């Protein structure tokens, strides 16, 4: 039997998932990765990929284990402190883990383990090799050092991240308003934050249109501030927001004697893609803009879409099959979360965020379960939920948010 030749571009989470699934679907697979192998396996000193906080409810971990990877998360997240602009924190304890701290680089990291698994299956990975262009008829132009050569494939899976080369002309272009920037620092050593309790800070002073966060595990802390570049006032640099966050007394004290390991910088798309392939090209993960628009998390959909792209190879028309799957399994949730982003992150002013957080406190305390629907209570809460947003989107926001909050959280008493 003539096996289909699949070239996967990128050995991040989506590319690794795609390579394994395509291989298991009977294809002959090759992976092309521009980074050097050492940067995936050894280094934890440069970028955001040193750490990730995997998605809600361990869903990505479940996916990974279904695919036969055995990845131990370093810490489970069992609670959160939300700091609205007013500074008065809302303290949650969760009914079950709501995320896991896992590593992207270094020995034992998720990338490392996925790559090992690919190599064990006998799939070839070319590190230090870059795809310069790809066309829907299956041709690729590649460079390795000073060499430049062409390759051909029956299917190309573009898993090359948000600045995708493979997806040029297929994925919609990314403008400043389509991305969120993350800038932060990773620390090691004794610290004063409660391990497994994430902190989320809101408001335009620290993170215009986004959120700042602290992720402490027992011996490590990541502090990141995220923002929408088009909402950052002219003349203010992203670094200033991080410095402001680090100078906040609660953060300074919490960091205690821990020491800096590396800086963290990167960006994620926050508006979903609409095209997922063309001709012989399929796009997976961030190259297809499948990141959660609300939180910026991308691991779960990267792994899921990679898996779907790889599995579609067994079908007569992979692009059609894959596009149908993505539209069924991922897009509806992205649309919902996109509406939540527009309603919450893009619309609320600081005083409205304060009001929203105090509303949540009322609702999850269990004493005011009907607060949202009961007009007397609404009035009693003054400029409550209906006045939160400019465009009258608040009802949708709270409808989306509150059932989630109620199902997952209990208030720390």
Ligand X SMILES: Cc1cc2nc3c(=O)[nH]c(=O)nc-3n(C[C@H](O)[C@H](O)[C@H](O)COP(=O)(O)OP(=O)(O)OC[C@H]3O[C@@H](n4cnc5c(N)ncnc54)[C@H](O)[C@@H]3O)c2cc1C
Stretch that binds ligand X, among 49-57, 243-251, 320-328, 404-412 (CB under 6 A): 49-57
Q: How many CB atoms within 10 Å of residue 102?
A: 21
- Answer yes or no whether residue 167 interacts with ligand X by CB under 6 A: no
Main-chain phi, psi angles of 381, to 5 degrees: -85, 20
- Is 54 among the residues that bind ligand X (CB under 6 A)? yes
Question: Any idea what DSSP says for residue 164?
Answer: -
Under rule CB under 6 A, residue 161 binds ligand X: yes
Among 299, 308, 330, 359, binds ligand X (CB under 6 A): 299
Does 220 bind ligand X (CB under 6 A)? Our answer is no
Which residue in the set 8, 15, 171, 214 belongs to the binding site for ligand X (CB under 6 A)?
15
**Quick one: which segment of 45-53, 330-338, 351-359, 367-375 binds ligand X (CB under 6 A)?**
45-53
Dihedrals φ, ψ of 226, to 5°? -115, 155
Among the residue ranges 30-38, 64-72, 74-82, 318-326, the one whose residues contact ligand X (CB under 6 A): 30-38
**Candidate residues 171, 202, 251, 264; the one interacting with ligand X per rule CB under 6 A:** 264
CB closer to ligand X, 287 vs 355: 287
Rounded to a whole number of angstroms, the minimum distance from the CB of residue 77 to ligand X is 10
Contact 31, 19 (CB under 8 A): yes
Rule CB under 6 A: say whether 198 interacts with ligand X.
no
CB closer to ligand X, 160 vs 321: 160
Q: Which stretch binds ligand X (CB under 6 A): 7-15, 313-321, 337-345, 391-399?
A: 7-15
Distance CA 178, CA 1 (A): 44
Residues 6+ apart with CB under 8 A from 74: 100, 101, 102, 103, 217
State the residue for tokens 């203010």. Answer: 236
Q: H-type helices in 121-232, by residue range?
A: none
- 23 contacts ligand X (rule: CB under 6 A): no
| Residue 33 near ligand X by CB under 6 A | yes
> What span, in angstroms and rounded, lies between the C-alpha atoms of 101 and 61?
11
Q: How far is the CB of 106 from ligand X (least distance, A)?
A: 15
| Window of 78-86, 195-203, 245-253, 263-271 that interacts with ligand X by CB under 6 A | 263-271
The strand pairing partners of 211, in sequence order, are 202
- Asked whether 158 and 283 are in contact (CB, 8 A), the reply is yes
Contact between 268 and ligand X (CB under 6 A)?
A: yes
Among the listed residues 12, 196, 203, 277, the single contact to ligand X using CB under 6 A: 12
Phi-psi region for residue 214, left (φ > 0), alpha (ψ -120 to 50) or beta?
beta
Q: Is the dihedral of CA 156, 161, 162, 163 positive or negative?
A: negative
**Alpha carbon separation from 28 to 96, 126, 154, 207 (Å, rounded):** 41, 15, 10, 46
Rounded-to-integer distance, Cα 153 and Cα 166, Å: 13
- If the CB atoms of residues 84 and 161 are measured against ligand X, the closer one turns out to be 161
Among 79, 203, 277, 298, binds ligand X (CB under 6 A): 298
Beta sheet of 220-227, edge-to-edge order: 259-269, 179-188, 220-227, 211-216, 197-202, 79-83, 90-94, 409-411
Residue (14 or 323) nearer to ligand X, CB: 14
Q: How far is the CB of 186 from ligand X (least distance, A)?
A: 11
Is 286 a residue that touches ligand X (CB under 6 A)?
yes
Of 268, 260, 92, nearest to 179 by C-alpha is 268
Total residues contacting ligand X by CB under 6 A comes to: 36
Which residue matches tokens 């080369």? 165
Which residues of the shown chain bind ligand X in the complex (CB under 6 A)?
9-15, 32-35, 48, 52-55, 130-131, 159-161, 165, 182, 224, 264, 266-268, 285-286, 291, 296-299, 302
């Amino acid at each position: 039997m003539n096996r289909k030749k699949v070239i996967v571009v990128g050995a991040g989470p989506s590319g690794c998932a795609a390579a394994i699934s395509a291989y298991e679907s009977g294809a002959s697979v090759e992976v092309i990765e521009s980074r050097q192998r050492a940067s995936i396996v050894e280094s934890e000193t440069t970028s955001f990929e040193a750490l990730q906080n995997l998605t809600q409810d361990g869903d990505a971990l479940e996916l990974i284990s279904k695919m036969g990877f055995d990845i131990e998360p370093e810490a489970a997240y069992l609670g959160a402190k939300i700091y609205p602009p007013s500074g008065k924190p809302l303290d949650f304890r969760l009914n079950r883990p709501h995320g896991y701290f896992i590593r992207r680089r270094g020995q034992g990291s998720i990338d490392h383990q996925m790559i090992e698994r690919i190599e064990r299956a006998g799939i070839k990975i070319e590190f230090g090799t870059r795809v310069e262009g790809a066309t829907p008829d299956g041709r690729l132009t590649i460079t390795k050092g000073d060499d430049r050569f062409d390759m051909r494939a029956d299917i190309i899976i573009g898993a090359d991240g948000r600045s995708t080369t493979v997806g040029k002309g297929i994925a919609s272009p990314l403008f400043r308003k389509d991305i969120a920037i993350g800038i932060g620092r990773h620390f090691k050593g004794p610290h004063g934050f409660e391990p497994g309790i994430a902190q989320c800070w809101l408001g335009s002073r620290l993170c215009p249109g986004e959120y700042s966060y602290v992720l402490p595990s027992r011996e490590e802390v990541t502090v990141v501030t995220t923002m929408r570049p088009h909402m950052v006032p002219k003349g203010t640099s992203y670094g200033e927001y991080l410095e402001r966050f680090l100078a906040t007394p609660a953060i300074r004290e919490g960091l205690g004697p821990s020491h800096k390991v590396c800086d963290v910088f990167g960006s994620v798309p926050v508006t979903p893609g609409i095209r997922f392939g063309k001709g012989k090209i399929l796009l997976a993960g961030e190259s297809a803009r499948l990141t959660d628009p609300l939180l910026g998390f991308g691991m779960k959909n990267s792994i899921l879409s990679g898996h779907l792209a790889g599995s579609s190879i067994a079908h007569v028309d992979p692009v059609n099959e894959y596009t149908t799957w993505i539209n069924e399994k991922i897009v509806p949730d992205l649309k919902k979360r996109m509406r939540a982003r527009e309603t919450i992150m893009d619309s609320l002013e600081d005083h409205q965020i304060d009001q929203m957080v105090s509303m949540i406190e009322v609702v999850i305390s269990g004493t005011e379960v009907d607060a949202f629907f009961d007009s007397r209570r609404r009035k009693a809460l003054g400029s409550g939920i209906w006045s939160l947003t400019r465009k009258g989107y608040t009802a949708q926001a709270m409808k989306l948010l509150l059932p989630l909050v109620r199902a997952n959280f209990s208030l720390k008493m």
